[in-house]
Amino acid sequence: MSLIEAVLNTIIIAVLGRKGGIGKTTIATNLAAALARQGFRVALIETDGQGDSTFSVGMSYANDFYSLIMDDAEWSDVLQPVPDAFAGDGLDLWILRAHDAQLNVERNPDTSIRIVERIEELKGFYDYVIIDAGPNLAETHIGLYYAASHIILPTLVESKSIQSVQRMFTYLDQARSASELPVAEVLGIQPNRFDARHRIQHRLLGYISGMYERQAPILEPIQNLAVWEYASTEQVSIYQMAGSHAGRARKQFQPLVAAAIALQNASAERVAV
């Protein structure tokens, strides 16, 4: 890596999973909030036509990801500032929105390569690019395996969700064999909606460790707390919520935030040597 590349290091994190409702959007939006609140320049990219990230940050829906990939739109025309109410005033936090036209993006055979090319253009302009992906394993997912530097794999603490993490490792292996391009590294498996009251949940956490600890770091579980749902309903991040449950949720989320920040610190150290 040259000195210039290291100085302008952009960490690109995709939050991926083949199952619905495991916390991809919750994690992507709140990670973007956490990093922006640390003073980093952050672009949150929604690639899910459901538009859940767009809703979560308090914005109206738009087909900007379609414009980026299919119409060659300028980044400056499609990246929008996230409202201050979401994570705090004066942050360098931007969003690219996706909506119904995503269906056409998924059907376009050039989408995966276009994603790699277009995300590459952000390098040097943002410290973090955080990508929220839908559960459908189409062209966008494939593009993100190569466009991202890192991947977070959320999983519920339930057997079917845990098994589906294995499929993600298989897809990443297939991506490695299919192209010369580097494939993203798994930053961590994030158990989500953990309920410590049930013995089966502890057993399943042990199962996650046994099954995956050699493949990727396993992060501290995030508990099932209604405050996450309140935050998304009120279109604010967990950092804008008051009360002890919000404090607990932020604390449980912190190891993931710290793992993401450590990636920037590692690149800064490379500049220093």
Ligand X SMILES: Nc1ncnc2c1ncn2[C@@H]1O[C@H](COP(=O)(O)OP(=O)(O)OP(=O)(O)O)[C@@H](O)[C@H]1O
Q: Which is nearer to ligand X, 74 or 251 (by Cβ)?
A: 251
Residue span binding ligand X (CB under 6 A) among the ranges 15-23, 32-40, 98-106, 139-147: 15-23
Residue span binding ligand X (CB under 6 A) among the ranges 3-11, 115-123, 141-149, 218-226: 218-226
Indicate whether 222 belongs to the interface with ligand X (CB under 6 A).
yes
* Interaction residues for ligand X, span 62-121 (CB under 6 A): none
How far apart, in whole angstroms, are the C-alpha atoms of residue 93 and residue 91? 5
How far apart, in whole angstroms, are the C-alpha atoms of residue 62 and residue 68? 12
Task: State the nearest-atom distance from the C-beta of 229 to ligand X, in Å.
Answer: 4
Q: Which is nearer to Mg ion, 48 or 127 (by Cβ)?
A: 48
Q: x/- site string to Mg ion, residues 46 to 75, per CB under 5 A?
A: ------x-----------------------
Lookup: tokens for 13: 């994190």
Out of 23, 49, 51, 143, point to the residue binding ligand X (CB under 6 A): 23
Residue span binding ligand X (CB under 6 A) among the ranges 61-69, 89-97, 112-120, 226-234: 226-234
Angle at alpha carbon of residue 53, lines to 16 and 133, rounded to 5°? 20
Residue 37 backbone zone (phi > 0: left; psi -120 to 50: alpha; other: beta): alpha
Task: State the nearest-atom distance from the C-beta of 85 to ligand X, in Å.
Answer: 17
Burial of 4 (0-12, 13-18, 19+ CB in 10 A): exposed
* Interaction residues for Mg ion, span 20-39 (CB under 5 A): 24-25
Sheet strand arrangement including 42-46 = 80-81, 93-96, 42-46, 128-132, 11-15, 150-156, 185-192
* Interaction residues for ligand X, span 134-163 (CB under 6 A): 134-135
Q: Which is nearer to Mg ion, 19 or 24 (by Cβ)?
A: 24
Which residues here bind ligand X, judged by CB under 6 A?
A: 20-26, 48, 50, 52, 134-135, 192-193, 222, 224-225, 228-229, 232
